């Protein structure tokens, strides 16, 4: 069995905090953490004071881009069911689950309904046995409350989480922006931000009644965060996520009809953005994810209302999230809870921390290395990012998947 000893590291563990020391990997597993004596024939990696942390688990990507994940320090992704074909069949789920190995582990989120039609339940139990780690409603909200309740019940009995999209379709369908000054000035079809808390309120009531586990992939409004906080206090098994874009940008970013800032859900006003930062700080938000959904020129070089929503986010997820640490919104170990440990828990994975017995999915990180985000040089299948040309800090120097350098 091969062994690697990482020496002189700044160990950042979501569960154990920040400390100096060593970490021993034997085979594909973390064997020891702290002051460790190297067994014979052990490969020594001197980290020289850099950060050694769990590799990222990106919950809710729409595309598998190995190069982008390698650059961003991502070892595992939760793949949304919105694929071609839709992840609603055990054979398709099984193929998705092995599609990235060995460099990247893909954990499929199977469709809650057949073809993501929002009406007829998919074969949830069979898809779970084929490798699905959760079930998801996809890019759209399930309008039929009866269907959503059935999905939650099935998921509860299988100990799976339902990953939901939080926008009331009756208000949001056909719109491309958040109603407000920016959308009005640009003449964009828009929906009031209340579309999000309306959807959240209904699904929270159903989750509370059924006892199911519910994760909102993105929550972006002050009213939505208030509902999540209240539900958590009542003991509802609910978690929620957000992307760096919704933490760092407001709807002002679309003022020049810039389609790289056309996202789903759309960017919100500044008061909602500030509420999102507060929700990160107080623990309401459980996950920061990339929302990786790269779109090529044929989908983005169009009038704003005709462009497809989505951004390439895997490569910039960690660097942009480190902004929260520099701004003292989060500690570094708490950030890795949102980027690794919490996504692992939602997906039912034994991963996301620096603990003996867990998979050796690791990154060596220099959080101070400066670089400039350049859409033209991204490893993703398309480089559409609203952060193009933004100077940032934090580079992954090495990524290990199961103890093997990627």
CA distance 123 to 118: 14
DSSP letters, 263-329, are -SSPP--HHHHHHHHHHHHTT---EE---B----HHHHSS-GGGSPP-B--TTTHHHHHHHHHHTTS
Average pLDDT estimate for 125-135 = 97
Read off the pLDDT of residues 291-314 as tens digits, 9 standing for 90 and up: 999 999 999 999 999 999 999 999
Core vs surface per residue 184-215: b (16+ CB within 10 A) or e = eebebebbebebbbbbbbbbbebbbebebbbb
CA 136, distance to chain mean position in Å, is: 13
Structural contact between residues 333 and 13, judged by C-beta atoms closer than 8 angstroms: yes
Report d(CA 8, CA 176) in Å as an integer. 49
What angle (nearest 5°) sits at the alpha carbon of residue 264, between those of residues 287 and 214? Answer: 40
- Helix 195-210 crosses helix 145-157 at what angle (to 10 degrees)? 50
Torsion of CA 160, 349, 292, 316, to 10 degrees: 150
Q: Name the CATH superfamily housing domain 55-352+367-393.
A: Metal-dependent hydrolases (3.20.20.140)
Return the SS3 of 19: strand
pLDDT at site 38: 82
Helices (H), 98-194: 124-129, 145-157, 169-172, 181-186
pLDDT tens-digit map of 64-79: 999 999 999 999 999 9
Whole-angstrom distance, CA of residue 71 vs CA of residue 54: 15
Whether the Cβ atoms of residue 374 and residue 388 lie closer than 8 Å to each other: yes
Confidence class for position 37, pLDDT limits 50, 70, 90:
confident
Q: Both tokens of residue 48?
A: 């020289």
DSSP string computed for 84-129: SS-S-SHHHHHHHHTSSTTT-EEEEEEESBGGG-SSSB--HHHHHH
**Alpha-carbon distance values, 172 to 292, 309, 334 (Å):** 21, 13, 33
**What pLDDT sits at residue 40?**
84
Residue 39 has pLDDT above 90, yes or no: no
Q: Flag whether pLDDT at 35 surpasses 90.
A: no
* Separation between Cα atoms, residue 58 and residue 183, nearest integer Å: 31
C-alpha–C-alpha distance, residues 271 and 68, integer Å = 32
* Mean residue pLDDT across the chain: 96
How is residue 125 written in tokens?
């139990």
- Average confidence (pLDDT) over 15-28: 95
The two structure tokens encoding residue 384: 């559409």
Question: Is the bond into 85 cis (omega within 30 degrees of 0)?
Answer: yes
173 burial level (CB within 10 Å; 0-12, 13-18, 19+): middle
β-pairing verdict for 74-79 and 105-111: parallel
Categorize the per-residue pLDDT at 1 as very low, low, confident or very high, splitting at 50, 70 and 90: confident
pLDDT value at 138 more than 90: yes
Q: Give the model confidence (pLDDT) of 144-194 as tens digits.
A: 999 999 999 999 999 999 999 999 999 999 999 999 999 999 999 999 999
Confirm if 291 and 285 have CB atoms less than 8 A apart: no
**In the chain, % of residues over pLDDT 70:** 100
From CA 94, how far away is CA 99, in angstroms rounded?
Answer: 9
Which one, of 291, 365, 379, lies nearest residue 335 by Cα? 365
86-120 pLDDT per residue, tens: 999 999 999 999 999 999 999 999 999 999 999 99
Measured between alpha carbons, how far is 81 from 295 in angstroms, rounded to an integer? 17
pTM, two decimals, is 0.96
Q: Does residue 233 carry a pLDDT above 80?
A: yes
Helix (H, G, I), strand (E, B) or coil at 401: strand
């Amino acid at each position: 069995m091969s062994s690697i000893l990482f020496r002189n590291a700044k160990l950042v563990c979501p569960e154990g905090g920040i400390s100096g020391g060593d970490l021993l990997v034997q085979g594909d597993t973390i064997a020891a953490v702290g002051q460790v004596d190297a067994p014979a024939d052990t490969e020594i990696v001197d980290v020289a004071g850099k950060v050694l942390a769990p590799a990222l688990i990106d919950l809710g990507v729409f595309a598998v881009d190995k190069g982008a994940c390698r650059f961003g320090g991502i070892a595992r992704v939760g793949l949304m069911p919105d694929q071609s074909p839709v992840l609603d069949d055990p054979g398709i789920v099984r193929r998705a689950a092995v599609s990235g190995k060995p460099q990247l582990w893909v954990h499929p989120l199977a469709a809650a309904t057949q073809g993501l039609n929002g009406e007829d339940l998919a074969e949830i139990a069979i898809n779970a046995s084929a490798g699905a780690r959760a079930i998801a409603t996809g890019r759209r909200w399930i309008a039929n409350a009866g269907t959503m309740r059935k999905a939650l019940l099935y998921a509860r009995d299988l100990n799976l989480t339902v990953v939901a999209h939080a926008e009331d379709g009756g208000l949001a369908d056909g719109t491309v922006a958040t109603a407000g000054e920016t959308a009005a000035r640009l003449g964009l079809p828009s929906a009031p931000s209340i579309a999000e808390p309306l959807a959240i309120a209904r699904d929270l009531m159903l989750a509370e009644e059924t006892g199911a586990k519910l994760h909102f992939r993105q929550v972006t409004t002050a009213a939505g965060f208030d509902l999540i906080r209240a539900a958590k206090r009542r003991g509802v098994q609910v978690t929620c996520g957000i992307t760096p874009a919704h933490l760092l940008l407001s709807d002002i970013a679309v003022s020049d009809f810039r389609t790289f800032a056309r996202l789903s859900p759309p960017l919100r006003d500044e008061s909602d953005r500030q509420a999102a930062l507060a929700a990160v700080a107080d623990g309401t938000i459980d996950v920061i994810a990339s929302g990786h959904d790269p779109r090529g020129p044929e989908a983005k070089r169009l009038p704003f209302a005709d462009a497809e929503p989505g951004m390439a986010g895997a490569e910039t997820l960690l660097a942009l999230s480190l902004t929260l640490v520099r701004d003292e919104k989060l500690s570094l170990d708490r950030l890795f809870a949102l980027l690794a440990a919490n996504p692992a828990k939602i997906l039912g994975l034994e991963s996301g921390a620096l603990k003996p017995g867990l998979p050796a999915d690791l990154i060596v990180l220099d959080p101070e290395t400066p670089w400039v985000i350049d859409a033209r040089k991204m490893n993703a299948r398309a480089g559409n990012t609203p952060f193009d040309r933004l100077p940032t800090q934090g580079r992954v120097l090495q990524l290990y998947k199961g103890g093997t350098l990627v």
